[in-house]
Every structure is written in C-alpha cells, then in structure tokens.
Structure 1
Amino acid sequence: MNAREQADAHVRAMMRWHFGPATGSRYWLERRNRLGFDPVEDVRGVDDLLMFPNLVDELRDVPVEDLIPRGLDPDEKVFAVYESGGTSGAPKRFVMFENWFDQYMAWENAHYPDDGQGHTLAVAPSGPHMLGEYSRRIARARGGIRFAIDLDPRWVKRLIAAGDTAGAAAYVGHLVEQAELVLRSQNIAFLITTPPLLARMAEHAGVRALIQEKVRLVIWTGAHMDPDTQDYLAAEFFPKAQFRGSYGSTSVLSGTVQRADPDGTGDTVFDSYAPFVIYRVVDPATGLPVEEGAQGAVVMNYLTPYGLVPNSLERDLATRVLGPEGVGDSLRSVHPVAEVDGRKMIEGVY
C-alpha cells in the first residue's frame, strides 16, 4: 500500500477501535448514535473525517475518565491531563498517555538530528499546558538540562481583556528579567519561547546580548510569527541563531516539524505526524477543503488508540499546502482569526 492507502486503513482501524464496545471510551460509545452517521461503516478514509461535527467544545466539561479507551492495556499510563490555552472560553481537557508522548517526540526529534548538545531555557507555560513537558523532552534529547521560566498565559489575556496593558507589560517584563538571570549564569544553547516573548527579549539590551552570545537555536511556538517578523528578529537581533517554528495544538497532543517552503516565499511550512495527526484547511462556511494555495480554517484530527479528536476547528487560518505523500494538508502562513462567535480573540503571549 502507498502512504495514502495506509492512512485510509489507519482511519478505518481507529473507527473500529473507538466505536467498538470492548475498546472504545464511554464518551464515544455514548456519542455514536447521535452523530447522524455510522462512523464504522461510513468513515472509510481520511476524507470522510470531515463528516464529524466539531465536538471539541464538549471537552470543556467531560470527566476525563470518560475519554480513556477501554481497550488499552492496563500497563498504559496516563502521563498528564493537558488543557487548551483558554483563548476562546473555558479550557478543554485532553488525556496524554506516556507512550504516545514518547512516540510523538521520537518522530519530531528524528527530523532534527543535527542540533548538537547543550542546555535549554524554556520561557513558556507549564502547569496544564503541554509545552512545559515538551521543552523538558527537547532538552533531554539534546543531552542537556532544561531551565524553565514559567508563565501564566491566561493571566496575561485577562489583563489585556481588562485593558490593563501596563499590567500585562509589567508581567512580561518580570519574565524577561528572570530569563536574563538564567542566561547570564548558565550555558544555554537552546531557547524555547513564544514569538511575543522573543520580541520583548530582543528589546532588552542585556538579554539580547546574552542570546546573541550563547544561543544556537531558537524554537518558537505557542503563538504565530509572520515571515517579516522572523526575518527581522533573525537578521537584526539574532543573526547567529537558527530559528525553528513548531505549530501544534493541545487538541491533537502534538506539534509539527518544519520544512522548507516549496514555493520559496520564505514562509514556514508545518507538517503533521500523519496518519496519527491529520490537518485539513477548509472553507469555514462550508467545511470543505479549499484549493491548494488558498487560505482557509485549520481543522485537526487526532487518531490514535489513546484517543479520538476528529474535525477539531482551530482558531487559526492558514494557506493549504499538500501534505507529504498526499496524506492530509500541511500549513503555511498560519495566523489567528480575529473573532470567534463574535468575540475578539486575544492571543496575548501564547
């Protein structure tokens, strides 16, 4: 079978697993009869995932034990329950299993074998957010120690929503000051942070000089960064460091790998871990895929034995790039939508 045929077979296997009485979770078994179609009979491949409604908002209130598939081996361990950033309302919760985290990180790290060794500084959320553990595993794979500066992105968004821009700026300044202390005293080779925080660090002369002196690689994630901003930061402030983006979502418990833009525009292109994580770029009015090179809304699908999250509509727009080997879509020019359900979206620092 080619890659697309294998992906279609994987989709069918996951439908049988998650909707089988002996293997599926309580949530999906109870939800099956209210879908309006039979997922086992009707979902025959990748394209048919678009039949699912966007049910991710229901995960704000579902008891997490209802999301665990019954068919998993008792030795499979829940590593954590991660939450979305809360940008569009109360956070949604997703169950991370240790074996899935190991599998995903092995895939991502295999695409970046030449980073070398060194310590990592993560100025990023921890707590209920996946990025904290992600940064620890990035550091471990590179033979170094992770130093962490924690941030609460929801607090920043609350300050911005209340019009307290001074309070938000003071909080971000507090984070940058802490980062300076680590950078000044430790041999940091890798920096993981969000684009708004990186921009703030670039404005701080002391922090900027330390990054210029020590950091070989900047991994940016958690918020969008347009090509002009990335080029400006890389050329004007941190010309010795490589830049790498990682776009992902808690809804699919994973991120992406970055590849060169095939059209040569300088934009970052993100590939998902297909067939376990499949992206689609769709017309938000119809839910149907847009043409290659057109912009649309990002839809994500998480299809593993550990969980099922189909057709999750993200708060981002992107340009559609054909996925590797014809499985799903890849994303270029990712940026957040301005509003969701009439409510202005606040990206903040994450």
Structure 2
Amino acid sequence: MNAREQADAHVRAMMRWHFEPATGSRYWLDRRHQLGFDPVEDVRCVDDLLKFPNLVDELRDVPVEDLIPRGLDATEKVFAVYESGGTTGAPKRFVMFENWFDQYMAWENSQYPDDGTGHALAVAPSGPHMLGEYSKRIAEARGGIRFSIDLDPRWVKRLLAAGDTAGAGAYVDHLVDQTELVLQSQDIAFLITTPPLLARLAERASSRALIQEKVRLVIWTGAHMDPDTLDYLSTELFPKTRFRGSYGSTSVLSGTVQRTAPESTGDTGDTGDTVFDSYAPFVIYRVVDPASGLPVEFGSEGTVVMNYLTKYGLVPNSLERDLATRVPSPTGAGDSLRNIHPVAEVDGQKMIEGVY
C-alpha cells in the first residue's frame, strides 16, 4: 500500500478501536448512535473524517476518565492531562499518554538530525500546557538540560481583555528580566519561546545581545509569527541564529515539522515558503471552507481542521482558530500548511492572542 492507502486503513482501524464496546471510551461509545452515521461502516478513508461534527467544545467539562479507551492495558500510563489555552472560554482537556508522547517526540526529533547538542531555555508556559514538557524533551534529546522561565498566558490575556496593557507589558518585562539572568550565566544553545516573547527579547538591547552571542537555534511556537517579522528577526537581528517554527494544538497532542517548499508548482506557493507537516496518519490536518466544511483548492486559504487518530484517543474534525493556505502533504494523507495566522473572531468574540 502507498502512504495514502495506509492512512485510509489506519482511519478504518481507529474507527473500529474507538467505537467497539470492548475497546472504545465511554465518551465515544455513548455518542456512536447520536452521530447520524455509523463511524465503523461509513468512515472508510481520510476524507470521510469530515463527516464528524466538531465536538471538541464538549471537552471543557467531560470527566477525563470517560476519554480513556477501554482497550488500553495496564502498561499504558497517563502522563498528564493537558489543557487548551482557554482563549475562547473554559479550557478543553486532553489526556496525554506516556507512550504517545515518546512516539511523537521520536518522530519530530528524527526530522532534525543536525541540531547538535546543548542546553535549552524555555520561556514558555508549563502547568497544564504541553509546551513545558515538550521543551524538556527537546533538551534531553540534544544531550542538554532544560532551563525554564514559567508564565501564565491566561493572566496576560485577562489583562489585555480588561484593557490593562500597562499591566501586561510589566508582566512581560518581568519575564524578560528572568530570561536575561539565565542567558547571562548559562551556556544556552536552544531558545524555545513564543513569537510575542521573542519580539520583546529582541527589543531590549541587552537580551538581544545575549541571544546573538549564545543561541544557535530559536524554536518558536504557541502563537502566530508573520513572514515579515520572521524575516526581520532571522536576517537583520539574529543572522547567525537558525529559526524553526512548530505549529500544533493541544487538541491533537502534537506539533509539526517545518520544511521549505520546493520550487513552486502552482500548488504549493512561492519558492522557499515555510510549510508545516503533521505526523500523519496519526495526526491529519485539513484546510476547509468554513461555510461548507469542504476542503479548499490547493493554494487557497481556509480554516484549519485537525484530527487526532491514535489508540490513545480520538479527536476528529476539530475546528481550529487559525487560517492557513492548503498545501499537498508529503504522504498524500490530509494537508500541509503555510501562511498560518489566527482568525479575528470566534463566534463573535474577538480573539486575544497575548503571549501564547
């Protein structure tokens, strides 16, 4: 079978796993007969995942025990319960299993064999957010130690929503102060942070000089970075430092790998564009027309939809708060993404990106 056929077979296997009484979770078994179709009989390929309604908002208050598949044996350990950022209301919760985290990180790390070794500094949220543990595993895979500056992105969003830009700015300055102390005393090769925080670090001359002196690779994630800002940071301010983005979502308990698009074929965009690939067939992205729910043409912009399809959990057709240009994926399963940026509003509510 080719990669697309393997992905379709994986979809069918996951439908059987999550909707059979012996293996499925209480959440999905209870909903099987409410869907208006039979997922085992009617979802036969990647494209059929579009049949699912977007039920992810229900995960704001579902008991996490109801999300755990019955078919998992006692050797499968829950590592953590991670939460979404809470941008559009109460956070949604997702169960991370240790073996899935290991599997995903092994795949991502295998895509970047030339990173070298060294310590990492993460200026990023931990607690209920996946990014904290992700940064620790990035450091460990590169033979280093993870230093960290914690932050509460929800507090920043609350300040901004209340119009307290001075309070939000003071909080970010507090984070930059702490970051400088680590950079001054430690040999940091990898900086893992969000674009808004990276911008503030670049604005301050002292922290900018420390990054220029020490950091070999910046991994940015957790928020939007427009191409002009990325170009300015990587060519004007930090020309000796490599930059890498990772786009992901807590809903699919994973990120992406970044690649540079080949020469334009008329489908993938301009030569040299940055493209993000998911860990297919376990994580599948689609770019759809928000009105029809159907995929847009390659090279066109639409809303990002994510699917998480593992034996550890099922999150189909999760409508994200981001827009992106649709790009053919390397495997033919789902889509890859470029030019990712947040929507302005969700259900009439203005989006506040903050620092994460």
TM-score bracket for this pair, using the shorter chain length: over 0.9
Distance 2:304 2:70 in 1: 30
For 1:216, the aligned partner's letter is: R
Determine the structure 2 residue equivalent to 1:113: 113
For 1:106, the aligned partner's letter is: A
Between 1:256-265 and 1:87-96, the stretch displaced more is 256-265
C-alpha deviation, 1:325, in angstroms: 2.3
Between 1:262-271 and 1:90-99, the stretch displaced more is 262-271
Structure 2 residue 350 is the aligned partner of structure 1 residue 344: yes
Determine the structure 1 residue equivalent to 2:324: 318
Deviation per CA, 1:103-139, whole angstroms, max 9, x where unpaired?
0000000000110000000000000000000000000
For 2:186, the aligned partner's letter is: Q
Distance 1:226 1:293 in 2: 18
1:1-350 paired onto structure 2 within 5 Å: 1-262=1-262, 263=264, 264-350=270-356
Distance 1:118 1:50 in 2: 43
In the alignment, is the contact (CA less than 8 A) between 1:227 and 1:266 conserved in 2?
A: no
In the alignment, is the contact (CA less than 8 A) between 1:216 and 1:240 conserved in 2?
A: yes
For 2:304, the aligned partner's letter is: V
State the secondary structure of the residue aligned to 2:137.
helix
In the alignment, is the contact (CA less than 8 A) between 1:54 and 1:310 conserved in 2?
A: yes
Distance 1:265 1:343 in 2: 36
TM-score (norm 1): 0.99
Deviation per CA, 1:302-321, whole angstroms, max 9, x where unpaired?
00000000000000000000
- Identity of matched residues, %: 86
C-alpha deviation, 1:265, in angstroms: 4.6
Between 1:255-264 and 1:69-78, the stretch displaced more is 255-264
In the alignment, is the contact (CA less than 8 A) between 1:227 and 1:267 conserved in 2?
A: no
In the alignment, is the contact (CA less than 8 A) between 2:280 and 2:331 conserved in 1?
A: no
In the alignment, is the contact (CA less than 8 A) between 1:183 and 1:210 conserved in 2?
A: yes
Unaligned runs of 5+ in 2: 265-269
For 1:291, the aligned partner's letter is: E
In the alignment, is the contact (CA less than 8 A) between 2:76 and 2:98 conserved in 1?
A: yes
TM-score (norm 2): 0.98
C-alpha deviation, 1:266, in angstroms: 4.2
RMSD over aligned Cα, in angstroms?
A: 0.6
C-alpha deviation, 1:237, in angstroms: 1.1
Distance 2:157 2:173 in 1: 15
C-alpha deviation, 1:267, in angstroms: 3.3
C-alpha deviation, 1:261, in angstroms: 2.2
In the alignment, is the contact (CA less than 8 A) between 2:76 and 2:97 conserved in 1?
A: yes
Compared with structure 1, are the counterparts of its residues 199 and 266 closer, same or farther at alpha carbon in structure 2 (3 Å cutoff)?
farther
